[in-house]
């Protein structure tokens, strides 16, 4: 996939899951800003959602959409044998192959060498990023 293909393809809406089509690509918004300032928008077509990102070009708006969508998307669970201690701490999941479903219990977070790892997990995903900020304790 080259850069032009990547720019045309939009990931599903990160908020409502709407499957974006090629015709849902960025469009130029000239209603709110001076004509010298191009603003390109990608907006979710679902009228209950209307999630939107902007950019100074069609490509930058679409790239911003895909960046946000990728961040919000659930990571793909990888088989345990693909995990290596160099990956650092991960989130560990247990897949029930007879039911073809997750076991439904909370995930376990840790590193492969941890002595308290329960040992029955089948898959892992990278540890999520730290939150951007935290409200001080006691402040509501």
Question: Could you list the residues that contact Zn ion (CB under 5 A)?
Answer: 13, 15-16, 18, 44, 46, 49, 51
* 52/65 Cα distance (integer angstroms): 8
User: Rounded to the nearest whole angstrom, what is the least distance from the CB of residue 71 to Zn ion in the complex?
Assistant: 15
12 vs 89, which CB is nearer to Zn ion?
Answer: 12
Report the chain's terminal Cα–Cα distance, integer Å: 47
- 12 closest CA partner among 69, 51, 94: 69
* 51/46 Cα distance (integer angstroms): 9
User: Rounded to the nearest whole angstrom, what is the least distance from the CB of residue 17 to Zn ion in the complex?
Assistant: 7
16 vs 103, which CB is nearer to Zn ion?
Answer: 16
Residue positions counted in the chain: 140
User: Rounded to the nearest whole angstrom, what is the least distance from the CB of residue 128 to Zn ion in the complex?
Assistant: 22
* 10/44 Cα distance (integer angstroms): 10
Whose structure tokens read 């998307």?
Answer: 73
24 vs 59, which CB is nearer to Zn ion?
Answer: 24
User: Rounded to the nearest whole angstrom, what is the least distance from the CB of residue 79 to Zn ion in the complex?
Assistant: 32
51 vs 111, which CB is nearer to Zn ion?
Answer: 51
């Amino acid at each position: 996939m080259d850069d032009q293909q990547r720019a045309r393809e939009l990931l599903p809406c990160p908020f409502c899951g709407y499957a974006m089509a090629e015709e849902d690509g960025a469009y130029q918004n000239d209603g709110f800003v001076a004509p010298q300032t191009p603003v390109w928008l990608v907006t979710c077509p679902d009228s209950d959602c209307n999630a939107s990102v902007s950019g100074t070009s069609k490509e930058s708006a679409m790239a911003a959409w895909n960046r946000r969508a990728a961040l919000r998307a659930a990571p793909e669970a990888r088989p345990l044998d693909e995990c290596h201690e160099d990956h650092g701490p991960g989130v560990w999941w247990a897949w029930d192959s007879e039911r073809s479903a997750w076991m439904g219990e909370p995930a376990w977070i840790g590193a492969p060498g941890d002595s308290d790892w329960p040992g029955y997990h089948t898959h892992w995903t990278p540890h999520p990023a730290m939150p951007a900020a935290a409200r001080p304790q006691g402040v509501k």
